[in-house]
Structure 1
């Protein structure tokens, strides 16, 4: 190949390259294909526009002669990375009905992070947060808490066996109380959910006998007091005569009128003696009632009705 041929070939190559460049420039606008944008740019139409920073959004896209116009995100919205968004993203709401509460509040540069409520555990975890939670399982009576629930795991329950029980809130089953060991008797047997009920040993026969004896003594006391009062009313005056013309009146030393004892000396000695004797007699019966272990309530009733009314 001669030198002239080489020159011709070089010229042909140059012409082909020029044609390819021309075709590329003409074809690109028609097809919508554009060179790749940079990492901090976004494609809009045929322009690679600068992105807005975190916490901002695009208000106006760039043009051939003007850069992108950015504005801050409004309250309850955010962008957490460089972007070409025309609207900020809405903040997540931590819904208590979904078992969630706020772990980290939303800001213009980060979304809300949620976590489980107290007594709940997460069933839909995400990075550093949670999107759904449910309440911990509650152990039933007869079960104990084998493993306490956490924010990420549920409660595990176990069953009580043998002579043990739990109301569902214990972390281990407890043994039934042995009533005999503490000097008591069993009122109700224990179960897996309840302890044994213990109580005092009661001597029913002695109680009934004491009550009957108390009532009998009270009745006797009342009868004696009644007879005593009736006899005191049958006054036997000493025989003596006082002449008042044609009518002779008997002379007596004492006389009971309206419950008061009057004597010929017109002092209170006879009345005081009568009250003392009645009081001594009734207090004696009160002490006897107490010796039969009559309850304080019955003793009080006897005192108020028999002793306190003494006059």
Structure 2
């Protein structure tokens, strides 16, 4: 794909995936060199790995500089290609923090025109690198996780009963009777919106699940529960299964449904009434927040038939 086409694509997509951070995009398999290595060695490594720059680190893996293909070209022209990298590397390196959002990442690519940027923690230890290809890959992966673009999605849509009885992620029948946690959502009292998420948080904490993971589950479940209360005009349910490597949560209702899922995924989009907004709900962050805090998410809906939101949460390293 031509460079200008990549830039155009990133401009169009970044507003839909603004929640993605550097830690989710970066390539953790980082090629690095230490300062005593020669420019010639850097040149050969770039040629073998087909990369345009290499971070330079010290013994503690702290970023101290970067060597680029432009530095190599200059070294060849001026005949110092066998000198140490430390003598010629760029020491003032533009980098990303792990929690840097996509908008800022794209902005830096546009501003500095580098091929890749290192990602470092607060102690300057290198965690990964990000190229434009890494950004595209992360966005495509999000597309794959959010929507089911296969024959099974079409089959499920054609058979209403199936998407209430089957997992949207695996396609297996859901054993709701085996759920570790079940909560019936009462849509008639908006003051109770979030009660199920609070009980689920307490339940998971009692089970010894880690605080960070519990928090992510609770936030995403809260958003899904509130959507049932303020939009569905129907009672709903929360189901949770604690599995060996992850936690699965499913929130469903048989109410009004979502007319346009793609539009509903955009931050700030909401169909909530003025009354609901006055109560502090309906900011248009429900589905985007669910997407942000879950590791996998699939939404299935049809107008007049209801909504199923299925989420998977795993420990993040």
Higher strand share: 1
Question: Structure 1 length normalisation: TM-score?
Answer: 0.18
Computing the radius of gyration from Cα coordinates, the structure with the larger value is 1
